[in-house]
A and B are shown apart, each in its own frame.
Chain A
Amino acid sequence: MSSLLSNGLPTSQPAGWNSGAILEVSDLYVDYIMDRGTVRAVRDVSFAVGPGEFVGIVGESGCGKSTLLFAIAQLLAPPAGISAGRVVFKGENLVGLTDKQLATVRWRNMSVVMQSAMNALNPVTNIGKQFRDAMRAHGVTSNQEIADRSAEVLKMVGIDPVHLRSYPHQLSGGMRQRSMIAMAMLFTPELVIMDEPTSALDVVAQRSLMVQIKELQEQLGFAVVFVTHDMSLVRHFSDRLMVMYAGQVAELGDTRRLFDEPLHPYTVGLMDAFPSIKGPKVKLAGIPGSPPNLAKPPEGCQFAPRCPQVMDRCRTTEVPLYNLHGDSVRCLLHEAGGSQL
């Protein structure tokens, strides 16, 4: 479906580059400006998402993945702010737009599904009313139209429309998360941004929701940016995968390639961090140490203090992204094989 895009797209484009991508993030920096100093949570991130493409963003807590997602949706609130870079959605740079200008884009063309449906849904009004609010806010006034569309999207995610009259507490975790996704579908957006939508669910509900998202995506053709800490979850669903570490892109590439031949030592470490339920039982070590404190990032490669293949140069050299056959990786081990981006 989107394999066409997943292979050929360069990861960083010069300004004005016309790729047909619906989302282009270029040279993005996000800072948290606090009294104690500035924390750079997202550092020089560039990537593009093609129409109908599923891009997974993977990383540990504090790697900047959620901040990046908030930056794309222009939902950052002080002390966080975009200090440089562009977020171009359908040819329009969203950075610096006012809320009023953003309102025409949000929900209609781009919608966001948050991590915890428990907190994202209003507990004191029923589901139907929350759907109605969203539609009214975007100019749909006909009650009939609202009722029809609400029922339609709920059916799409496999929930009986009688639940439009249900309150969030009357639904299971899985159903709440499904109704959040239904709400994101109200205007048939072209891009849906998801922040760990399955993290509060059990494995069975989680798998069912992932399959549902994929089905909806194939049916309606929207693109997905999916943030998760669990890379095994997106293995079967994403076209491309971006691995983030300490606010930077560590590796970005075709999902299958990334799983078969991971390039960055951090990606390799992440892969070895999952015990399997099949095959021989082997002792695994995970990745020793913990991610750097972004208020005091180490010099050189951010992963160097934990890296099993660290070289002396890694601790002093700022490592650029290297391009290897269209995929990119930030590691000196691949300096020779790739061209600098």
Chain B
Amino acid sequence: MTDQQTAPQPGTVSSAPLLRTDNLTRHFRIGSGLQRKTLHAVDEVNLEIGEREIVALAGESGSGKSTIARLLAKIYKPTSGEIYFQGRPISKMHSRRDTLGYRSDVPMVFQDPFASINPVFRVSHGVMRSLKLHRPELSDKERGAEAVRVFEAVGLTPGADVLQRFPHELSGGQRQRVGFAQALAMRPKLILADEPVSMLDVSIRLGLLNVMAQLRDEQGVSILYITHDIASARYVADRIVVMYAGHVAEQGPVEEVLANPRHPYTQLLLSAVPDPRAELNVAAATDRGEPPRVIDPTPGCRFRWRCPLAEEICATVTPRLEQLAPQHDVACHVAQSGAEVKAF
């Protein structure tokens, strides 16, 4: 990126975020007839992702984080609410040109590097195809050069050589880099990365996380990093959004949230991270990690069944996000009442 000076600082949302969701909601119908129920996967989520910013979306399975990725990738349609990309509502993008444009601005990198690359083609196939589709102005020669450039940008060197390999000749870490290279070829503004390192070995993960930080710093790309691994979120992200049962529980700058977690669920998550450098916290181990109830939920805080601090109001009124420290929002009645929250 050439305009380093004008680029906003990572970690702060500028006045016009790159992407913004407005009460984004997605429900799924399950069962039929009298058994019909509604699963609230994502409920009224307001998310903001700034320019050149890595936002970690953290939470347990079933918290709705992958549903958000699919909504942003236009795989699902929202039940209600809207997604604004560079100020434009994406539900209004109907033409092929708009859709193609959005898809190249916001590509996705998938969790499983073994399933997401076609095994019968050389790895150049995917990159060249998307270059042809999304950047038709390039000549054949330019396309080849561009493919080499994006491969080398994610650490696959020498690019020309790696491009000629078949997926089975590459390790898991290298394949996942191919995923990022394919996304990068479209000159994206925002990459949706759904658990991009969870299938990789621990010794390989850091390399990929460093690639993500590099893409932000050198290519000016924003990344929505979906993960259940808080430590890796802290390592690479500027801001963190903690989800629980389809709601945002807490969000803010990653250091601030992890140093002063105010939502009991964030505290529980943090206490459960295996940390070889710390003593074991057995006290909090009584929580079983049972999944939340999101089928036909009643009003109230969805964490109340697991929360040692739950009060009467938590069972009747759904807590809304409220700013409790600069840029640090928490959806918890107890925290909002001004009391110090120390649940786990």
Contact = CB atoms under 8 A, between A and B. Distances in A.
A281 interface: yes
B174 A278 contact: no
Q: Which of B202, B258, B269, B275: most chain A CB closer than 10 A?
A: B202
A45 interface: no
Interface in B213-238: 228-232, 234-235
A232 B201 contact: no
Contact of A172 (B232, B235, B291): B291
Contacts of B277: 276, 278-279
A336 interface: no
B290 interface: yes
B204 interface: yes
B171 A204 contact: no
A205 B289 CA distance: 4
Nearest to A283: B210
B206 A290 contact: no
Given A158-B288, A201-B289, A273-B202, A284 B235 contact: yes
Interface string A221-236: 0000000011111011
Contacts of A122: none
A14 interface: no
B115 interface: no
Interface string A161-181: 000000000001111000000
Contacts of B203: 60, 269-270, 273, 286-287
A135 to B, nearest CB: 26
Given A202-B60, A202-B228, A285-B210, A207 B234 contact: no
B10 to A, nearest CB: 14
Q: Is the interface of B mostly helix, strand, loop or mixed?
A: helix
A contact residues, range:
35 or more
Contacts of B201: 60-61, 229, 291
B313 interface: no
B268 interface: yes
Nearest to B277: A276
Given A174-B290, A208-B289, A211-B285, A274 B230 contact: no
Nearest to B60: A202
Contacts of B269: 203-204
A277 interface: yes
A287 B282 CA distance: 31
Interface string A112-128: 00000000000000000
A207 B285 contact: yes
B205 interface: yes
A211 B275 CA distance: 14
Interface in A211-254: 211, 229-233, 235-236
A275 B228 contact: no
B299 interface: no
Contacts of A279: 277
Contact of B290 (A172, A285, A286): A172
Contacts of B205: 273, 286
A230 B204 contact: no
9 contacts: A60-B204, A203-B272, A207-B285, A281-B234, A286-B202, A286-B207, A287-B204, A288-B207, A290-B204
Interface of B: 60-61, 171-174, 201-207, 209-210, 228-232, 234-235, 255, 258, 268-270, 272-280, 282, 284-291
Q: 4 closest pairs, A vs B, by CB?
A: A205-B289, A286-B206, A204-B289, A275-B235
